[in-house]
Structure formats: C-alpha cells, structure tokens
A and B are shown apart, each in its own frame.
Chain A
Amino acid sequence: QQQVKQSPQSLIVQKGGIPIINCAYENTAFDYFPWYQQFPGKGPALLIAIRPDVSEKKEGRFTISFNKSAKQFSLHIMDSQPGDSATYFCAASKSGSARQLTFGSGTQLTVLP
C-alpha cells in the first residue's frame, strides 16, 4: 500500500529551467509534508517542509505548493542549477508519538549545464 505517490520517476531539465515534482497522498491525518534531497553517496537531507494550513512555502529557489482538497503537493525549483542534480523524495507524517515518515518513491533530477 503506497500512501504517498510521487511522479515523475526521473526528470531532465536544462540549466535555468523549473523542474516540478508532484506527490499525492491518501491519509488525511497527515499534517507534515517534507521534501528530502539526496546526493549520490549521501543520506537524504531535509530540504523544505510544509504544513497543511498554508498553500505555499518558499525557501530560496525551492517552493512547495500544497493543495489540501486534492491531497497533492509539489516541489518547484526555480532557476535550476547543475548542482541541484539529485534524487528528491516527498514524504508525509502525522503528529503523535511516532511521527513516522512515509516516503514517496523518489525522483531523479538531472539539470544539464
């Protein structure tokens, strides 16, 4: 049972383009939606996160758009750079003692110079 569905599986853009990665979730109890970034040979690291009481959050060139009614959220990378080439994972969790993260399947992003 995949509770968080992520697409696309891979994405190639030119430098300066705006890659968009989409995720959809099923569990309406989720109340925290992070994006993790993973470079080759490294573990994932938190990039940006959003709660469902806002529709958008920006941190630098990275923006999360959140649509609560559609149960969807997406990551936009403005003015993408070759250094943004990495695997991106969306995730979701709910408050409580466990706060387990349920991850999407990942998107491998390549930004061409």
Chain B
Amino acid sequence: DVKVTQSSRYLVKRTGEKVFLECVQDMDHENMFWYRQDPGLGLRLIYFSYDVKMKEKGDIPEGYSVSREKKERFSLILESASTNQTSMYLCASRASGTHEQYFGPGTRLTVT
C-alpha cells in the first residue's frame, strides 16, 4: 500500500520562527510536491521536485524554500514564519510517467 507520511499533524509556531515540515514517501517516486490548502482557494502548489537535489518553484513560492537530499524525503522550510502562512500543508508524490499524485494527511500549521 502506497504511503506518504508527514512529520506532524498539528503545529503551532510563533511569528519569526524557522519552521520545518517533513514529508516521506515509501513508493520510490521521483516527483514530490508541497501544496497549501486554504478554504475557497483549493490546493496551491508551493514547490515541487523531480529528482534528488532538484527543485522548481510552483505558483506561490514566496516565503518558502525546500530541500530534497534523499529520494524519499522532501522538506518544506518557512525561513521566518508569518501569520499569513497559517494553513494546511499537504505533501504529495508521483511516479514519473504517470499523473496520479498520492497525498499525505497534511500538517495544520498555526502561526501566532
């Protein structure tokens, strides 16, 4: 059974803190994605990676960075968290040559 796990289900951080969100997939997928989900806005792509150490900006990369040192792990970094980054963050992975993305359960981040 395919599995994408995210390090935390809920996270509360203070403004200005550096925040790390971790995602691990066990499907040997080449492609990994970070989205944020906000009511009425759907899922918006922050960054994606198509290979180890490779990354591409999505639609809303400002205020975020990513790291992919190993194939199975994709990290989202908020360098200095702000209240407008309070959101649900979803990680996904996809095998090359396919369209289907497999999602993790999400991390609900609150920045106070």
Q: Are B90 and A43 in contact (CB under 8 A)?
A: yes
Measured between beta carbons, the chain A residues less than 8 angstroms from B48 are 98, 100
Q: Are A9 and B50 in contact (CB under 8 A)?
A: no
B contact face: mostly helix, strand, loop, or mixed: strand
B58 → chain A closest CB, angstroms? 7
Bound together, the chains give a CA A60 to CA B42 distance in angstroms of 26
Q: Are B4 and A43 in contact (CB under 8 A)?
A: yes
Measured between beta carbons, the chain B residues less than 8 angstroms from A104 are 42
Bound together, the chains give a CA A98 to CA B56 distance in angstroms of 9
A49 → chain B closest CB, angstroms? 7
Measured between beta carbons, the chain B residues less than 8 angstroms from A98 are 48, 50, 56
A73 → chain B closest CB, angstroms? 15
B79-103 at interface with A (beta carbon < 8 Å)? 90, 92, 94, 98-103
Q: Are A45 and B103 in contact (CB under 8 A)?
A: yes
Question: Which size bracket describes the interface of A in this complex?
Answer: 20 to 34
Measured between beta carbons, the chain B residues less than 8 angstroms from A99 are 31, 94, 98-99
Measured between beta carbons, the chain B residues less than 8 angstroms from A105 are 40-42
B23-43 at interface with A (beta carbon < 8 Å)? 31, 33, 35, 40-43
Measured between beta carbons, the chain A residues less than 8 angstroms from B41 are 105
A3-21 at interface with B (beta carbon < 8 Å)? 6, 9
Bound together, the chains give a CA A9 to CA B56 distance in angstroms of 30
Bound together, the chains give a CA A46 to CA B100 distance in angstroms of 7
Q: Are B42 and A103 in contact (CB under 8 A)?
A: yes
Measured between beta carbons, the chain A residues less than 8 angstroms from B78 are none
Whether B19 is near chain A, meaning CB under 8 Å from some CB there, is: no
Task: List 28 A–B pairs whose Cβ atoms lie within 8 Å, in order of A's numbering.
Answer: A34-B99, A34-B100, A41-B105, A42-B105, A43-B4, A43-B92, A43-B103, A43-B104, A43-B105, A43-B106, A44-B90, A45-B103, A49-B99, A49-B100, A89-B42, A89-B43, A97-B50, A98-B48, A98-B56, A99-B31, A100-B48, A100-B58, A103-B35, A103-B42, A104-B42, A105-B40, A105-B41, A106-B42
List the interface of chain B (C-beta within 8 A of A): 4, 31, 33, 35, 40-45, 48, 50, 56, 58, 90, 92, 94, 98-106
